[in-house]
Structure 1
Amino acid sequence: MGLVNFMSLINLSVDRIIIHQIFQKTSDKFTMPIKSNDYTNFAPSAMSDFEARVVQSLGVDSKAVTMKILDQNNSQDLPYLVNSCVDECNTDFIESSYQIAEKLARAQFHKSSAISGGIVVVFTGKQGHPQKRLLGILKAELHSGYEKLIDPKTGQISLKHIQELLLTPNSRLFKTVGFCENLNYDPASTDLNDKWTPLIFDSQISKADGKASAEYFYRKFAGCGYLESNARTTKQFFDVTKKFIFQLDKPSEEKYELLNALTTYLKVDKSSAVDPTDFAEKYFDIDTCDNYRNHLIDNEIPTSSFIKDIEHIQSQLKLLKYTFSNNVKLEADPEIFKKDVIVTPIKGEKDENGHIPDWTQIIVKSKLILKK
C-alpha cells in the first residue's frame, strides 16, 4: 500500500460542502436530523479559511490520530458508504451525506449519556501531489443561544451563520474524521484499508498516548480502531515490563537494577528495534523469562521484535530515580547510572536489640560539588 502524504494535507482543495443538523437526546424517542437540500457555497476567501480549518483539524500539527478501518462489509458501515458515495453526482450525494448525518445521530442516541447536538458538515475534495480524493465529516457544536436560519425553499442552512461557526478562530471543532485516498493501491483489493486511510480528530484526544475518549465517534460511527503504531507499542512494552518488575519477588535493589536496565535498553541502546525475548534473556533467569513471556502475551504485547519509537515515553526516560526508606533520593541520567554509579546492598550496624538492618552502599565515580 502506498500512502499519500495525508498527514500534511498538502494542496488541499474542497469542492463541495453540505450541512445537516443533529440533536441532543432528550427522550427515548430518536429525533431525525434536519436535512439540507442544497450545498453551502462559500466565497473563495471563505473557502480558503474552511480548508485551513480542515488542515488545522487533521493536518500534521493537529492532534489527529491515524486509525484503521474495522467495519467495511455492510452498506451501513461508514467506510463502505464513503467508498461508494465519494464520486456520486451532487443530487445523489445529498442523500448519502444525510445518511452519514443520521448514522452519527444514531451513534450518539445509543449512548447512555446525552451528547450535544450540532451541525454535521460533510465535504469532499482532493489533496496531495498528485491529488487524491478526500471525504471528511466534521461535527461542530452550536453555540449556546445560537439559532440557525434555514431557507424554507431550498433547505439550505444560513451561510452567514455557518461562516461564523466554522471560520472564526474561537469556534470549536469537536470531532472530525477524514478518509484520505492512498497512493498506488491495488484496485482489485477488497480491503478498504488498502484504498483509504482514516484520520480522526477529537478535541479530547491526548497526544501523550494517542488515545481518543469518544469511542462512539471513532468506533460506533466511523467504524475505525487504533492503528498500533511503533510509539504506542513501545510505550505499552515499557509500561507492562515495569509492572512485571514491580511484581517480582526480589529485593528492591534488584528491582531497581532491572528498571535501570529497562530504561537503558530503550534510551541508551543504539538498536532501532525492541526485542522482548532478547531483553528477557539478558536480564532475567530462565524461570522469570517464561513468566515474563506469558505476562507479555496476557497483555497483548508482541514477543517478537518491533521498531523502537520512544515518542510517548521520552519524559520517563530522562532520569532514573532511587528512593530509600528514609526518603533520601538519588537521580541521574540512565547512562550516567550505568557508567558511574555502583549500588550495593550491605548489612548495617547492629542496633541495641541485636537487629542488623539492611543498608545501601552507593559509590559515585565523581567528586561532590556545591551548586547554587
Structure 2
Amino acid sequence: MSAPEVVQVPQFRFEGLMIQRIIVHRIYTKVAGKEPLDPKTSNHLVKLAQPAIDALQLRITKALGNKSHGIEMSIHDVTAESFFQTAASMLHADEASFIKTSKELAINLHKAQLTTNTPGGMLAIIAGRVGDDALPFIAAIKAETQDGFKANEKDDQVDMEYIAELLLTDTQRFYKIGLLTEHISKPAGAEGYQAGNYRSFLFDHLMTATETRPAAAYFYRVFLGMDIQASSKKLTEDFFEYTRDFIKTAPLDDNAKLDLHEALRTELRSQEATISAGGFGAKHLPAELRKEYEDYMTAKGFPANAINKDTDYIHAKLRKRRRFVFTNGVWISTPPEKTDDFLQIEPADDAGITVVKIKGAFQEQQ
C-alpha cells in the first residue's frame, strides 16, 4: 500500500491540549550477549492527580508548540501494522481496546530499537484533545529515566529522599514525542485510514542538536513511520526570502539591517537541524518588532511550528560576505558571490598607498 499525498493545513495550535487517557509500558535496554527482554506492558490506565496532569500537558505543549522545535512530519508508512493505522484506530476506541492496542505499540518500539544501542525507558501512550477545535490525538512519548532527590520537610528538619527513576522533568532532554491528530473524521476504508485526514508531529531532543538527525531515525522513521516533509527545501527558502524582505522594510537603521541580514545567513548556515520564525525573532529582533515579524510570516503562510532546515535551494546565498581589511583600520565588505567582478585591489606602492577600483557608483554612507 503506498502512502497518499498528505494535504497540509498551514497552521496548527497546541494550546489547550487536554489529556484523557494515559498508559505506560517499560522498554528494556538491550544488553550485549543476552537475549533481549520483551517489554513490560501494563493492563490498566495511569491515574494521575490533576496537578500532575496539568504538568504533563504543559510539557507536551512546550515540546510541540509554536515556540518550540516540534516539527510537522509526513506520514510515510500507512501499512496495516504501522503506527499510523494503529494510532488512528485508538483515537475513538473504548478503554479495553485502547489498552490492548497500546501494548502493540510497545512491542513495535521494542523491535525498532533492536538494531540500535538506544537505551531503554518508558513508553507513555496518551490520548486526548488538542487545539482550537479540540481535535482528538494520540501521542507516544519515549522517555529515558533519571535519578534525583526529593526534599522532605519536617517540623525541625529538612531531609532528602533519593528517587532512582524520574520521568519527564522540566529540565530533562532525553525524551521523544510522536503525535498524530485527526483533522477530518472519517472511518477506515478498505485500505485502512487515509493519511490525508491526519497531521503528524515530532519532538526529539536529537533533532535540535548539532549532529543528530540519523540518530533519531529509529524512532520517527522505523517506529512512527514518519518522515521529514518533502517541502523542507522550499520552506527553508521561503523562510530566508520572507525574513530578508521583512528586514529590508523594518524601521531600523542601515547598520542594524546589515547585522540582521548576516544573522539570518548565520542561522541558516548553523548546524541546528530546525529553524522557526518565533525562534529567530526572539534571538535576533528588537522586542518591539517580534510580534510584527511573526504576524508577517503568518500572513505569508509560513508555519508557526519549527521546520526542518534544508538549504539546498539557497546554498549560494548563504555564503559569508567577504571583508578586506587595511592597515589603517579601513575595511571593505563585498557580497559573497563574484567578488572579482566587483572589486579590484592593486598592490600597495612604496608609500603604502593601495589603489582600489570598484565597479559601481557611490550610493550612500552607512
TM-score, length-scaled by structure 1: 0.60
CA distance in 2, matches of 1:133, 1:62: 21
Return closer, same or farther for 1:177/1:24 CA change in 2, 3 Å cut-off: same
8 Å Cα contact 2:146/2:164 also seen in 1: no
1:123 equivalent to 2:126? Answer: yes
Provide the secondary structure at the position in 2 that maps to 1:95: helix
CA distance in 2, matches of 1:6, 1:223: 22
CA distance in 2, matches of 1:73, 1:367: 62
Specify the code of the residue in structure 1 equivalent to 2:342: V
Q: What's the CA shift string for 1:158-180, capped at 9, x where partnerless?
A: xxx899523x4233451110001
Specify the code of the residue in structure 2 equivalent to 1:87: H
Provide the secondary structure at the position in 2 that maps to 1:228: coil
Q: What's the CA shift string for 1:206-244, capped at 9, x where partnerless?
A: 3899957411111011001111335x3364799xxxxxx
Report the equivalent of 1:243: none
CA distance in 2, matches of 1:237, 1:47: 38
Report the equivalent of 1:40: 46
TM-score, length-scaled by structure 2: 0.61
Provide the secondary structure at the position in 2 that maps to 1:40: coil
CA distance in 1, matches of 2:132, 2:164: 30
8 Å Cα contact 2:322/2:335 also seen in 1: no
RMSD of aligned C-alpha atoms?
4.9
Matched length: 280
Report the equivalent of 2:265: none
Provide the secondary structure at the position in 1 that maps to 2:13: coil
Return closer, same or farther for 1:43/1:78 CA change in 2, 3 Å cut-off: same
Provide the secondary structure at the position in 2 that maps to 1:17: strand
1:110 equivalent to 2:115? Answer: yes
CA distance in 1, matches of 2:316, 2:209: 15
Return closer, same or farther for 1:6/1:368 CA change in 2, 3 Å cut-off: closer
Instruction: Specify the structure having the higher radius of gyration (Cα).
Output: 1
Unpaired segments ≥5 residues, structure 1: 147-160, 239-262, 271-306, 350-358
8 Å Cα contact 1:18/1:94 also seen in 2: yes
Specify the code of the residue in structure 2 equivalent to 1:124: A
Return closer, same or farther for 1:210/1:186 CA change in 2, 3 Å cut-off: farther
Provide the secondary structure at the position in 2 that maps to 1:98: helix
Unpaired segments ≥5 residues, structure 2: 1-5, 150-162, 248-299, 349-354
CA distance in 2, matches of 1:266, 1:6: 18
Report the equivalent of 1:202: 204
Return closer, same or farther for 1:97/1:42 CA change in 2, 3 Å cut-off: same
CA distance in 2, matches of 1:95, 1:268: 52
CA distance in 1, matches of 2:221, 2:119: 18
Specify the code of the residue in structure 2 equivalent to 1:45: P
Report the equivalent of 2:175: 174
Specify the code of the residue in structure 2 equivalent to 1:12: L
8 Å Cα contact 1:138/1:173 also seen in 2: no
